[in-house]
Amino acid sequence: MTIPRRALTLAIPVLALGLAACAGGDSEPVETAEAETPSATEPTAEAPSGPEWGDGLVNPNLAGEEEISGLEGIADGAVAAIMDGRPFMDMVTLDAAIAPHMDAAARESLYGAMWIPMNLNTASEEEMLLIPGVGDRMAHEFDEYRPYDGMGRFRREIGKYVDDDVVDTYARYVFIPIDLNTATAEQILMIPGVGSRMLHEFEEYRPYASMEQFMREIGKYVDDGELARLARYVTLAAS
């Protein structure tokens, strides 16, 4: 499936308490989601099946070269670095890959439209600070309330410091891993790139006894890079 090119920028109000503004902007509107990709190199044209983390932001691990190159302000060298280096497991690695081609201000602007969802419970401060408008103070607040058991808590805690629309924007940039054995179909479909076909495979092997089992079973359908990308979004609750 080829997604129309677009550059997306979200306007964000000035934050209270001296916090900087945050912009957000995968390339699709909220009502659509990325198609499932059984492998990192051979995405299918399967229709999207549900919501996803990263709504409204281009996912550089999944978007086509044409879509990425159509982002406002992106350098040709950065496009090549993304296509050659993906899948990226976090934004710090991606940022390092395109830094030789774009300065810090240009990269910050780009991340208003392109982003790899960030694990709220494990992300480094360096990765938090790559979210447009997030400074040291807000990075501290993100860290203060770890571990998050759901997005509801994230919204409540961060909502103490910024307006609801800013919290909504931050929420596009982050995720909390879901439990492989208890996640609903809707939750599994929030994983970028997962559609109905991969949802079936996730559910087929339940209950998972270990992450090693997940890697072994799902590795039958995707390559190692895609498997590592998917594994970022899931966990197993302690028994």
Say what the pLDDT of residue 60 is: 98
Say what the pLDDT of residue 50 is: 54
142 three-class SS: helix
Say what the pLDDT of residue 29 is: 38
Is 183 part of any domain? yes
- Cα–Cα dist 134/132, whole Å: 6
- Cα–Cα dist 209/211, whole Å: 7
Mean pLDDT of 213-237: 97
pLDDT tens per residue, range 4-32: 444 333 333 433 334 344 444 443 333 33
- Residues making up the chain, counted from first to last: 239
Contact between residue 25 and residue 112 where contact means Cβ atoms under 8 Å apart = yes
The answer, yes or no, to whether residue 236 has pLDDT greater than 80, is: yes
As to burial, measured by CB atoms within 10 angstroms (0-12 exposed, 13-18 middle, 19+ buried), residue 111 is buried
pLDDT band at 196 (very low <50, low <70, confident <90, very high): very high
Is 18 part of any domain? no
> Which has more pLDDT, 201 or 50?
201
pLDDT tens per residue, range 121-135: 999 999 999 999 999
Q: Which residues contact 102 (CB under 8 A, 6 or more apart)?
A: 73, 74, 75, 77, 78, 110
The whole domain housing 185 covers: 178-235
Is 23 part of any domain? no
Is 207 part of any domain? yes
The answer, yes or no, to whether residue 191 has pLDDT greater than 60, is: yes
Amino acid at 61: N
Is 136 part of any domain? no
Is 148 part of any domain? no
Mean pLDDT of 211-227: 98
pLDDT band at 46 (very low <50, low <70, confident <90, very high): very low
Contact between residue 72 and residue 105 where contact means Cβ atoms under 8 Å apart = no
Q: Omega before 117 cis (within 30°)?
A: no
Tally of CB atoms within 10 A around 27: 24
Say what the pLDDT of residue 238 is: 72
Report the run of H or E that residue 119 belongs to, with start and end: strand 118-119
pTM of the model: 0.79
Domain count, the chain: 1
Query: Which one, of 9, 7, 13, lies nearest residue 167 by Cα?
Result: 13
Estimate to the nearest angstrom the gap between the alpha carbon of 33 and the chain centroid: 12
- Cα–Cα dist 239/167, whole Å: 33
Say what the pLDDT of residue 200 is: 98
C-alpha distance from residue 158 to each of 7, 106, 119 (Å): 28, 27, 16
CATH code of residue 217:
1.10.150
Alpha helix locations (H) across the chain?
65-69, 76-85, 91-98, 104-110, 125-128, 136-144, 151-158, 164-173, 185-188, 196-204, 211-218, 224-231
Q: What are phi and psi for residue 99, nearest 5 degrees?
A: -55, -35
CA angle centred on 234, ends 228 and 238, rounded to 5°: 125
> Which has more pLDDT, 226 or 23?
226
Say what the pLDDT of residue 141 is: 98
Mean pLDDT of 94-121: 98
Mean pLDDT of 55-65: 97
- Cα–Cα dist 207/213, whole Å: 10
Is 142 part of any domain? no
Contact between residue 46 and residue 156 where contact means Cβ atoms under 8 Å apart = no
Is 28 part of any domain? no
